[in-house]
Amino acid sequence: MAVVAIIDTGVNTQHLDLRDNLWINPEEIPGNGIDDDFNGVVDDIHGFDVITGQPISAIGDPEGHGTHVAGIVTQTSNSAEIMGIRLLDENGGGNISDAINAWSYALLKGATVINNSWGALGIEPSQVNFMQEAIDIGEEIFGAVFIAAAGNESVNTDRIANTPSNANGMISVGASNKKGNRSTFSNVGKNTVDLFAPGVNISSADAFSISGRIAFSGTSMAAPIVAGAAAILQDRTPEANPQEIKSTLISDVESRKKLKKFSVAGGVLSNEFTEPFSQNVRSQRKQKPRKIKPYQSDITSIGKKNFTRIICVLNQPSQNVKMDIWNKLIAQPFTKDDGVDWPEAYENRICILEIEKDYQGRLERKSVIRSIRKSGHFETVEWDRTIGIQSFNEYNIINSIKGPLL
């Protein structure tokens, strides 16, 4: 299995879209408080934080960007293993020099694809000590494929350098729109942007929930689609070297006349890899924006009242929550379904709430979520999709919803 290192703001290792695809450090014993592999990081089971030196599972993703990026990789390649490496802080900033440490960790731990959805405009890669050397070593000795977002400043990176996307050996990815043309924000470069991939309204894992998704746009979203494609090619042809993987990705693009002057390949990543995201785009183009109703279950109806279920994670495992919210909405604890495979860390803190509709029969969904969050009782609050999918086949259409439910 290809291992994809996400060099970003961190990764929420408890998210349902990611937890089955997490890389596991074979040299570390979970939870023993010992640096078993002698790399200076204790219990780095799924990756580590360059900023604090802690394991990624202890930090998670305070900003949210990295989890979204990781979710795009797993949507593209469902067999890819995700290694989370935090380079950027909660404000999305960081030191370029720390990238070398992040790459070194990834390479030594067996990452075969390294995704970099970050960059610094106006800086040449040659200005960063050991950057080019690290990429060369990663390719030649470790056989790793390096991928980077081209940037969102709408400039030509042939003229204004962007790091690390302009580095030799790096696959630089621009963002295409729903028509397969260049998005208005994407950087371009006939010699420095290799190819384009979908980067507008891409739905992926929401770091601040257990199973929710949210839509973002940017070359940060396009790059991990290519990273997922590289992982697929590595699994398909293990003997292929990084140059051959890059050549295949570039030669198999969907050619676009309008992209020929903006990139080396002159096209968008092959439809073989972009299909999940192309479907998102087509459905949004054909339909007017609409609010999606949250899942409603017959088994949670009481008398003639209609209830909507919400998943919450209690701050304290033993806490019993029953509260009147603004005297309009009533939240009651509900027993979790045994058939749902909850993340172990949340096992004793899951609370399913039934939310009563107001007297007009309408549910102000955002207000409900805000009210519950403001109560301070819960670590995580989101609409229930998982139980609906697990319990009723007729509600499987919910699984195809792209974007946040709110």
Domain count along the chain: 2
Largest CA distance in the chain: 70
How would residue 276 be classed by pLDDT, with cut points 50, 70 and 90?
confident
Same domain, 157 and 263: yes
3-state secondary structure of 400: helix
In the predicted structure, residue 399 carries a pLDDT above the cut 80? no
Same domain, 388 and 350: yes
Same domain, 274 and 305: no
pLDDT at 384: 52
Same domain, 123 and 258: yes
Same domain, 145 and 234: yes
pLDDT at 138: 96
In the predicted structure, residue 163 carries a pLDDT above the cut 70? yes
Contact call for residues 41 and 78 (beta carbons, < 8 A): no
Same domain, 250 and 302: no
Q: Report, as residue numbers or ranges, the catalytic residues.
A: 8, 65, 220
How would residue 359 be classed by pLDDT, with cut points 50, 70 and 90?
very low
pLDDT (mean) for 368-372: 64
Residue 227 lies inside a defined structural domain of this protein? yes
Tokens (6 digits) for 136 = 């060369």
% the chain with pLDDT above 70:
68
Same domain, 76 and 181: yes
Q: Which strand ranges, in their side-by-side order, compose the sheet holding 350-356?
A: 323-325, 329-332, 350-356, 307-314, 378-383
Contact call for residues 205 and 15 (beta carbons, < 8 A): yes
**The residue to which tokens 């208005």 are assigned:** 184
**Domain enclosing residue 357, as ranges:** 298-400
Residue 291 lies inside a defined structural domain of this protein? no
% the chain with pLDDT above 90:
63
pLDDT at 96: 87
pTM assigned to the model? 0.71
In the predicted structure, residue 195 carries a pLDDT above the cut 90? yes
**The residue to which tokens 């935090």 are assigned:** 86
How would residue 277 be classed by pLDDT, with cut points 50, 70 and 90?
confident
> Which residues are registered as beta bridge partners of 115?
6, 147
Question: How high is the mean pLDDT of the chain?
Answer: 78
Rounded Cα–Cα distance for residues 78 and 308 (Å): 31
Rounded Cα–Cα distance for residues 212 and 383 (Å): 8
How would residue 248 be classed by pLDDT, with cut points 50, 70 and 90?
very high
Q: Residues 110-122: pLDDT tens digits? A: 999 999 999 999 9
CATH number for the domain that contains residue 262: 3.40.50.200
Residue 293 lies inside a defined structural domain of this protein? no
Residue 364 one-letter amino acid:
E
Q: Residues 322-347: pLDDT tens digits? A: 333 332 333 334 444 444 455 555 55
3-state secondary structure 96-138: CCHHHHHHHHHHHCCCCEEEECCCEECCCHHHCCCHHHHHHHH
In the predicted structure, residue 284 carries a pLDDT above the cut 70? no
Q: Residues 81-106: pLDDT tens digits? A: 999 999 999 888 888 889 999 999 99
Same domain, 220 and 337: no
Query: Phi/psi of residue 265, each to 5°?
Result: -80, -30
Rounded Cα–Cα distance for residues 166 and 158 (Å): 9
β-strands 378-383, 307-314 pairing:
antiparallel
